[in-house]
Structure 1
Amino acid sequence: MVQSRLLISSRNYSSWSLRGFLLCRLAGIPFTVQVAAADDPQARAELLSRSSTIRLPCLLQGEIAIWDTLAIAEHLNEAYPGAQMMPAQRLARARCRSISGEMHSGFAALRASLPLNMRARRPGFTLWSGPRADIALIQEIWQDCLDIWGGPWLFGDRPSVADAMYAPVASRFLTYDVALNPDCATYRDHLLAWPDMAEWMQEAEQEPEAIEELEVEF
């Protein structure tokens, strides 16, 4: 198997980097993680939400370079079908692609108001109408999947691309003290206890404060 390398911007602040990492773990491939330098323009643009054309994370496999998390997910699912990153049932696969795409392109108010910061805790954080609407829709998506496919993951008894896409949201809900209904709270905790997620969060705690501007803006 080709040795792979995943380029990321930050463990503490980058939801997209986390998704790329979880997707690689789902694929079961050997890979190393390389963090971009703090003064890398692409890294800063992503973390400060100043660019709509982000090329981090980026998965490198020999001469192949794949950026954008959905592209990484599709590439890995195609290249390593034995990993079963997508649900086996056709209806479930369609729903998995739909809600993953929705997470990829939507929920702008949530992203702007509740930026990822794994080390931070904001008890009693005030939620305005925009992020509240996004949170309600995410709970609707989670609840619907859990009701249909029975949990503990969104599509049954094994994690999928969709779980990797929504994992950073679980961290946001923890950071900003977001109240959830019981089933969604249980799923949030299940995501946070995912060994690969827990490993990432532990390493995020050790990440140096390399981009001071983030603490000012966020």
Structure 2
Amino acid sequence: MEELTLYIGNKNYSSWSFRPWIALTAAGVPFREHLIPFDFPAGNPLFRDISPTGRVPVLHHGSLRIWESLAIIEYAAELFPDVALWPARREDRAVARSISAEMLSGFRALRGACPMNIRREKRRIPLPDGVMEDVERISAIWKECCENSGGPYLFGSFSAADAMFAPVVNRFDVYDLTQDAKVLAYMEAVKSHPAWIRWCEGALEETWIVPEDEA
């Protein structure tokens, strides 16, 4: 099989890069990482050479290009059916895909007000309308899934659904968005995963700063 190459942006900031990276890494899918830093808001002109959207992440497999985080995860799941990127039970896979798609298309208030920032010192900020509604919905998803599965992750073992919410764990943490014990327990499980730790170590080594760094 030809090598997979995952092109990503800055580990400190690139939430959409984080999602497929942690999914593939946690599952043990072999791939080569290629990081191209961006300079907000201009991005990086090199993205146009590797991605039809001019954005990252994008996965190269031979001449094939797959863009968008969830599509990359789905492609890897088809290539490596034995690594269990999605839950084993059909019913669980359906729910996992539903909440992953909800993450893909929703929670714009939270994403806009609280960008992912691994290096950010934990502190609260004034929150615009809609953010706490997003927090409440996400918290309900996490608690319901963990209660149904027994935890520590959404469907027992770490899966693509956890990967899709991984940047939100950072947002909840560094912007101090919750005091719910069950939500905090799930967040701690994600932050303790070896793949999360590897990504954060890389983010902490970066020196690039974009304007949102002081948000």
**DSSP 3-state at the match of 1:65:** strand
Q: What displacement does 1:192 show?
A: 0.8
Amino acid at match of 1:2: E
RMSD between superposed Cα atoms in Å: 2.1
8 Å CA contact 2:37, 2:44 repeated in 1: no
Give the corresponding residue for 1:185: 184
Structure 1 segments unaligned to the other structure (5+ residues): 46-52
CA distance in 2, matches of 1:90, 1:81: 14
Q: TM-score, normalised by structure 2?
A: 0.89
Deviations 1:30-87 (A, max 9, x none): 2221122435987359xxxxxxx56310111212211101111111111110011111
8 Å CA contact 2:26, 2:195 repeated in 1: no
Structure 2 segments unaligned to the other structure (5+ residues): 46-52
CA distance in 2, matches of 1:139, 1:96: 15
Give the corresponding residue for 2:165: 166
8 Å CA contact 1:36, 1:43 repeated in 2: no
Give the corresponding residue for 2:143: 143
Give the corresponding residue for 1:119: 119
Give matches, 1:1-218, under 5 Å.
1-38=1-38, 43=43, 55-156=55-156, 158-209=157-208, 211-215=209-213, 218=215
CA distance in 1, matches of 2:204, 2:126: 24
Q: 1:54 to 1:184 in 2, by over 3 A?
A: farther
Q: 1:117 to 1:17 in 2, by over 3 A?
A: same
Deviations 1:167-203 (A, max 9, x none): 1111111111122311110000111111101110111
Amino acid at match of 2:149: W
**DSSP 3-state at the match of 2:130:** helix
Q: 1:177 to 1:40 in 2, by over 3 A?
A: closer
Amino acid at match of 1:24: L
Q: For this pair of structures, how many residues does the alignment match?
A: 208
CA distance in 2, matches of 1:83, 1:55: 27
8 Å CA contact 1:4, 1:29 repeated in 2: no
Amino acid at match of 1:197: W
Deviations 1:102-124 (A, max 9, x none): 01110000000100111012423
CA distance in 2, matches of 1:145, 1:43: 36
